[in-house]
A and B are shown apart, each in its own frame.
Chain A
Amino acid sequence: MLKKIIVLSSIFTIGLLIAGCGKGKTAITMAGSTAFQPFAEKLAEQYMSTHNNVSITVQGGGSAVGIQSANSGAAQIGMADLVILPDEAKALTSVAVAKDGIAVVVNPKNSVMSLTTDQVRDIFNGRITNWKEVGGTDAAITVVSREAGSGTRSSFEQIVKGIVLKKEALIQDSNGTIRETVANDVNSVGYLSHGLINEKITALSLDGQACTSESIIAGDYKIVRPIYLLVKGDAPGEVGNFIDYILSPEGQQTIKANHLLPVK
């Protein structure tokens, strides 16, 4: 009986000690844009490998979550990928750290390779409902979009003016799940961050412009938005250091290497 008590207490204490080992580090939470989230994670990993006193956690949730978390203090850094920051973000300091294009994507097996802005608008409005109306096969178009609080969605709808999303559109909750949905459904169309395109989906050319880093930098591809990091007040201490790191040549190089666009 005594032995049992000793063993259990020691296990408990050791567990607590291990849990407490994280202390002594400054904890920074980043939350918001799912478009920037994978890049934030890579940057955080790189930063933490050279700075042992900081522990950075990255969460998603969408740009609106980023703004709200930064306002409420739930996160030290909010991430938002919006063309224009809404009123709720006025109280926050915003720093643009990257630029990103939004690509309209389809399944690789889809024969359609390019669309005009008007066609994109009509597809998302529900006025064009079949791929054959835009040069594809005779199949119903499955439209995939994001939830209302998404920065990618807000930016997309602001730049491609006049979209009232059709009621039958599927709603997914992050850039990643849109990518998975489009990759699995031959007749689907969606939009996501240019930096997240991989071989499972195809980015369409818009008005003759392919969605590549070069055309975005040159200003030829039109659906582009900045990615903002939002902080309450001026960024104190480690938070400011991390943001400076992201804006430094090393941070911007990481951003570029992962197919996002540096802000400069």
Chain B
Amino acid sequence: MKLIGEKGVQRALMFTAFSAISALLLIALFILSEGLPFIFRYGIKDFLFSNDWVPQQGRFGIFPMIAASLWVTFGAMVVGAPLGVAVALFLSEYAPRPVMRVIKPTIELLAAIPSVVYGFIGVMVLAPLIREFLGGPGLSLLGGSIILGIMILPTVISISIDSILTVPQSYREGSLALGATTWQTIYMVTIKASKSGIIASIILGLGRAVGETMAVIMVAGNSVNIPHSPLDSVRTLTANIALEMSYATGMHRQALFATGVVLLVGIIILNSIASVALRKRMVKK
């Protein structure tokens, strides 16, 4: 009985693990099989670098969308990374443990808020503020960056806190014993020791920002336009797919799958960088 149970559990877990991996592989294969033929037929240079996205006339250049996705992600990093790391440092270095144990789950609650609610707040609160104080239509690159920055906070904060807490207490004690203040210890010792983990948290947060669709459709304005200022309206790669997939046929549909391929490649690159950074942290210990 015990032996069967043991082997049975092992096989069940192996089966579940393989199902998860195969689901991932199947999704990747499906997107590639729909999108790659289009890229080879249309020409990868025209696809990635042309400014014209006019599906009705057979022109599928996604450069404005790539620019928009890059800018929105960069903006999200500018908003979310400093804020997130600061909160992580406060919670792990300065706040008393009971406070941290209450605040950390509350911040993780931010991750549970549906993205459409973020988009709603962006449209109702943020866009009018931007329109009134900074000008432009309000539904803009800036609005998208701010909302995305807030959305990636839970990821950045959680992983950064975990990373900071793994710094051995002996490092801090050594620094304090040499006469450094808490802040000097933080920026000269703790941050340097947890640097890989913090960078990994930011990159994972960016991965979420790149893939975000609903909030961006509602807040960023969706014009096919290379942004010249943060107040310009933009359309990201994800928004492009979501806006047009439901009715696209033929080559248009394949072009959208090809956009998915570009997104997939981008996210794989981002996550690989993150996992290399995380592995560096492990090796250090």
Chain A residues with a Cβ under 8 A of chain B: 61-62, 64-65, 67-68, 88, 142, 147-149, 167-173, 177, 180-181, 184-185, 188
Q: Does B249 reach chain A (CB closer than 8 Å)? A: yes
Interface-facing stretch out of B9-17, B95-103, B221-229, B254-262: B221-229
Partner of B235, one of A149, A171, A185: A171
Q: Which residues of A contact B137 (CB under 8 A)?
A: 142, 170, 185, 188
Q: How far is the CB of A163 from chain B (nearest CB, A)?
A: 13
Q: How far is the CB of A256 from chain B (nearest CB, A)?
A: 30
Nearest residue in B to A169 (C-beta to C-beta)? B223
Alpha-carbon gap, A149 to B124, bound state (A): 26
Given A168-B225, A169-B223, A170-B221, A149:B244 Cβ within 8 A: yes
B244 touches A148 (CB 8 A): yes
B139 touches A181 (CB 8 A): yes
Given A68-B249, A147-B243, A149-B246, A168:B55 Cβ within 8 A: no
Q: Which residues of B contact A169 (CB under 8 A)?
A: 223
A168 touches B232 (CB 8 A): yes
13 contacts between A and B (CB under 8 A): A68-B246, A142-B137, A147-B243, A149-B247, A167-B224, A168-B225, A170-B221, A170-B222, A170-B233, A171-B243, A180-B123, A185-B137, A188-B137
Alpha-carbon gap, A64 to B55, bound state (A): 14
Q: Which residues of B contact A149 (CB under 8 A)?
A: 244, 246-248
Q: Does B85 reach chain A (CB closer than 8 Å)? A: no
Partner of B225, one of A64, A67, A167: A167
A184 touches B232 (CB 8 A): no
Q: Which residues of B contact A142 (CB under 8 A)?
A: 137
Partner of A171, one of B55, B131, B223, B247: B223
Q: Does B87 reach chain A (CB closer than 8 Å)? A: no
Interface size class of B (residues with CB under 8 A): 20 to 34
Interface residues of B in 191-228 (CB under 8 A from A): 217-218, 221-225
Q: How far is the CB of A29 from chain B (nearest CB, A)?
A: 14
Q: Does B127 reach chain A (CB closer than 8 Å)? A: yes
B243 touches A173 (CB 8 A): yes
Alpha-carbon gap, A228 to B244, bound state (A): 22
Alpha-carbon gap, A169 to B222, bound state (A): 8
Chain B residues with a Cβ under 8 A of chain A: 55-56, 123-124, 127-128, 131, 137-139, 217-218, 221-225, 232-233, 235, 243-244, 246-249
A149-B244, A171-B221, A188-B137 given; name 7 further pairs at CB < 8 Å: A65-B246, A67-B247, A68-B247, A147-B243, A167-B223, A173-B217, A185-B137
Alpha-carbon gap, A88 to B249, bound state (A): 10
Nearest residue in A to B243 (C-beta to C-beta)? A147
A168 touches B247 (CB 8 A): no
B223 touches A170 (CB 8 A): yes
B221 touches A185 (CB 8 A): no
Q: Which residues of B contact A147 (CB under 8 A)?
A: 222, 243-244
A61 touches B138 (CB 8 A): no
Nearest residue in A to B217 (C-beta to C-beta)? A173
Q: Which residues of B contact A188 (CB under 8 A)?
A: 137
Alpha-carbon gap, A181 to B124, bound state (A): 10
Alpha-carbon gap, A167 to B234, bound state (A): 10
Partner of A170, one of B128, B139, B246: B139
Q: Which residues of A contact B249 (CB under 8 A)?
A: 68, 88
Residue among A68, A168, A177, A188 with most chain B CB within 10 A:
A168
A184 touches B223 (CB 8 A): no
Alpha-carbon gap, A68 to B253, bound state (A): 13
Of all A-B residue pairs in the complex, the 5 with the closest CB atoms, nearest first, are A64-B247, A149-B247, A171-B222, A142-B137, A170-B221
Alpha-carbon gap, A149 to B56, bound state (A): 10
Q: Which residues of A contact B217 (CB under 8 A)?
A: 173
Q: How far is the CB of A82 from chain B (nearest CB, A)?
A: 12
Alpha-carbon gap, A171 to B64, bound state (A): 15
Given A88-B249, A173-B217, A168:B244 Cβ within 8 A: no
B233 touches A168 (CB 8 A): yes
Alpha-carbon gap, A46 to B23, bound state (A): 43
Nearest residue in B to A166 (C-beta to C-beta)? B223
Q: Which residues of B contact A181 (CB under 8 A)?
A: 139
Nearest residue in B to A31 (C-beta to C-beta)? B246
Given A147-B243, A168-B232, A180-B123, A185:B222 Cβ within 8 A: no
Nearest residue in B to A32 (C-beta to C-beta)? B247
